Amino acid sequence: MSEEEAQRYGGSAGGGGGGGIGALSVDLLGQVLDRVPEPRDRKACRLVSRAFARAEAAHRRALRVLRREPLPRLLRAFPALDRLDLSACASLDDASLAAALAGADLGTVRQVCLARASGVGWRGLDALVAACPRLEAVDLSHCVGAGDREAAALAAAAGLRELNLEKCLGVTDMGLAKVAVGCPRLQKLSFKWCREISDIGVDLLAKKCRELRSLDISYLKVSNESLRSISTLEKLEDLAMVCCPCIDDEGLKLLSTGSNSLQSVDVSRCNHVTSEGLASLIDGHNSLQKISAADSLHEIGQCFLSKLATLKATLTVLRLDGFEVSSSLLSAIGESCNNLVEIGLSKCNGVTDEGISSLVVRCSYLRTIDLTCCNLLTNNALESIADNCKMLECLRLESSTSVSEKGLERIATCCPNLKEIDLTDCGVNDAALQHLAKCSELLILKLGLCSSISDKGLRFIGSNCGKIVELDLYRCSSITDDGLAALADGCKKIKLLNLCYCNKITDSGLSHLGSLEELTNLELRCLVRITGIGISSVAIGCKNLIELDLKRCYSVDDSGLWALARYALNLRQLTISYCPVTGLGLCHLLSSLRCLQDMKMVHLSWVSIEGFEMALRAACGRLKKLKMLSGLKSILSPELLQLLQACGCRIRWVNKPLVYKDAI
């Protein structure tokens, strides 16, 4: 509907002039735009009608900026912004951010995303907090350079409710204390991976931020004392503590003494947690909805099972990856948890057909079933799933080598809502794809390592699964250009496509891919037949390309880089290791692509030292991540390396011999 509407309005505005659109008030047009979900469609409206452009300017709530140059203009142009996403804004730094904020009115901005914006430091955050008085949510995740000063800058935003500090490696207890004191109304906080934070920081947080509902302390070295503090949070609903090696059953017992508010708990990879600890936790929190205990428990005790039964009404998600699971256990889970919507049994030993059938017989609401690497399963399991779980949306069967088209046929016919299926390494064939093609809702399809899949199978998919967003054809080496043609013809929505090692693909196949305008991630590793011509057709056609992997594409030379430099303006990650490109091409590429942040260029034997120097200098302010041969470390000028590091670029030096792999 959205597209039609847009076209209609756009058409009338473009053709009719005065009468139609212009007569409607800006408010109404804004309402219309709100109902256009696709950004592309909104863009179309904007471009064809001034009235829409005005309405958009007045009503636009969310803005995602890709380059820093237009940032000041954009911030002024949209005065009603609610969400500002700067995570992809290339080469954003303190100065440019502060300058852009200085002239803008950001009184309405409530959410700002600065994930991976490693160029932004405390000065920029200070300016941001000062400019956005109503700031409620900030995402600073993966700004690995961020530390206490950045946290302190954010702490000045007293109204903050959500804060993500994931992988801000420099944040210590001091930074956390700043935030805890400065933002007492915090409801959601993640400081996953901030390994410097200890018990006393968590304790202060629990004392100061009484409104916390969601907390992520994963990968921290905190002990049970932290859980004692956390247990005092009366409104806490969601607690994630993945891989906290110092937490054990005692901690969970302490946690269970808190208020009965917890709805979701994640103790994955906490090696010292046993099922008794979880049982005591369930004792204290009997409205739990989600339990994640992947790779933590050594065995599932009877006490835990009996406690699970007390959660019968509420429990919807149970993840028990990596256990020894027997059929009787699965049937017991099925009996006690009828309302399960998601079950994760990936890498569980002992999952058999009987076990699965006894589970699904009771749990008919299951939508997501993760059976990754449960390689005892056969078609019987699939049939019982298909017969019982009519609402199935996601099924992961990686490495289940015994399943075949028969089982998948049953799934495809009985589960019309299937949106995601992972058949990596399941050895399925074209016939299976023929059946799966009945699932017209399919969004994610993973067929990696299924080398018997051919163009025929892709034609089935292309003809019926028009909604597919992600397709993984890793090492499906029988696929040729024709298959890609059929795919590109039918699945226009594909965003992520993996064609690594499908080495029959040539330039003509890539020219078909050029019609996939939504494509953002494309992996073409080791496609030895493709050349610069194919790359240029992709670069020209796929305007939204963000990530491109050309490792070991031995025929891609400078012409490919030129095409990328000219057309792939949104490209953010590029891998050109082992490609026969020269310094000139590299230089041109790096100086032209203003969004490029992540470059992997190992074994570019045709590039001279000067070529590297020039290219890196050209892209100095923008690069965030580099992967290069360690031999270059001593050859490149130290001043350049310092400069790169000063701009927030992390260089990963690798040392591996140059080996050309021609065939698979």
Partner 1 sequence: MRRSSEISMKASSSMASEASRNTDPGQQGVRYNSMDLSYFARPGQSIPSCPPFFAPQSSSFCVPDESGAKVGNPFESDPSLNTPISDWDPQAILSNLTFLEQKIKQVKDIVQSMSNLGSPVVGGSCELAAKQQLVTADLTSIIIQLISTAGSMLPSMKSPLLSSNPAVRQLNTYGSPMGFGSVGNQRPSTNREVTVPDMTKTSDYEELMSTITTTHDEKDDLIKCPNPCGGDGSEPIPMEDHDVKESDDGGEGENLPPGSYVVLQLEKEEILAPHTHFCVICGKGFKRDANLRMHMRGHGDEYKTPAALAKPTRDSGLDHTPVTRYSCPFVGCKRNKEHRKFQPLKTILCVKNHYKRSHCDKSYTCSRCNTKKFSVIADLKTHEKHCGRDKWLCSCGTTFSRKDKLFGHVALFQGHTPALHMDDIKATGASEQPQGSEAVMDDMVGSAGYNFPGSTSDGIHNLDMKVAEDTRGYFSPLNFDPCFGALDDFTRPGFDISEDPFSFLPSGPGSCSFGQPSGES
What is the contact surface with partner 1 in residues (CB under 8 A)?
A: 93-95, 98-99, 102, 121, 123, 126-127, 129-130, 148-149, 152-153, 155-156, 173-174, 177-178, 181-182, 200-201, 203-204, 207-208, 646
Helix (H) or strand (E) holding 282: helix 275-284
The nearest distance, CB 206 to partner 1, in angstroms, is 10
Nearer to partner 1, 30 or 147 (CB): 147
Residue 148 vs residues 130, 154, 171, 525: alpha-carbon distances, Å: 18, 10, 5, 40
Give the Cα separation of 205 and 396 in Å (integer): 39
Give the Cα separation of 220 and 242 in Å (integer): 9
| String of DSSP letters for 484-524 | HHHHHHH-TT--EEE-TT-TT--HHHHHHHTT-TT--EEE-
> Up-side HSE of residue 243: CA atoms within 13 Å toward CB?
7
Nearer to partner 1, 532 or 648 (CB): 648
The nearest distance, CB 151 to partner 1, in angstroms, is 9
Question: In this structure, are strands 573-575 and 62-64 parallel, antiparallel, or unpaired?
Answer: unpaired
The nearest distance, CB 610 to partner 1, in angstroms, is 27
The nearest distance, CB 261 to partner 1, in angstroms, is 22
| Three-state SS at 147 | strand
* Residue 656 phi, psi dihedral angles, 5° rounding: -140, 150
Give the Cα separation of 2 and 619 in Å (integer): 40
Strand partners, 590: none
* Residue 384 phi, psi dihedral angles, 5° rounding: -70, -35
Helices (H) and strands (E) in the chain, counts: 29, 24
* Residue 184 phi, psi dihedral angles, 5° rounding: -70, -15
Nearer to partner 1, 200 or 640 (CB): 200
Nearer to partner 1, 100 or 242 (CB): 100
SS (H, E, C) 301-344: CHHHHHHHHHCCCCCCEEECCCCECCHHHHHHHHHHCCCCCEEE
Residue type, 351: V
- CB 514, CB 487: distance < 8 Å: no
Nearer to partner 1, 93 or 558 (CB): 93
Nearer to partner 1, 182 or 583 (CB): 182
Nearer to partner 1, 129 or 394 (CB): 129
The nearest distance, CB 132 to partner 1, in angstroms, is 12
Nearer to partner 1, 232 or 544 (CB): 232
The nearest distance, CB 373 to partner 1, in angstroms, is 44
- CB 416, CB 442: distance < 8 Å: no
Give the Cα separation of 581 and 175 in Å (integer): 45
Strand partners, 406: none
The nearest distance, CB 461 to partner 1, in angstroms, is 51
Nearer to partner 1, 177 or 241 (CB): 177
Nearer to partner 1, 203 or 393 (CB): 203
**Residues in contact with 294: Cβ distance below 8 Å, sequence separation at least 6, in sequence order:** 268, 269, 319, 320, 321, 322, 344, 346
The nearest distance, CB 324 to partner 1, in angstroms, is 42
DSSP label at residue 426 = S
Residue 247 vs residues 9, 190, 289, 305, 582: alpha-carbon distances, Å: 59, 18, 21, 21, 53
Q: How many CB atoms lie within 10 A of CB 102?
A: 12
- How far from chain centre, in Å, is Cα 419? 17
| Three-state SS at 257 | coil
The nearest distance, CB 646 to partner 1, in angstroms, is 8
Nearer to partner 1, 233 or 273 (CB): 233
The nearest distance, CB 126 to partner 1, in angstroms, is 4
Question: In this structure, are strands 444-446 and 470-472 parallel, antiparallel, or unpaired?
Answer: parallel
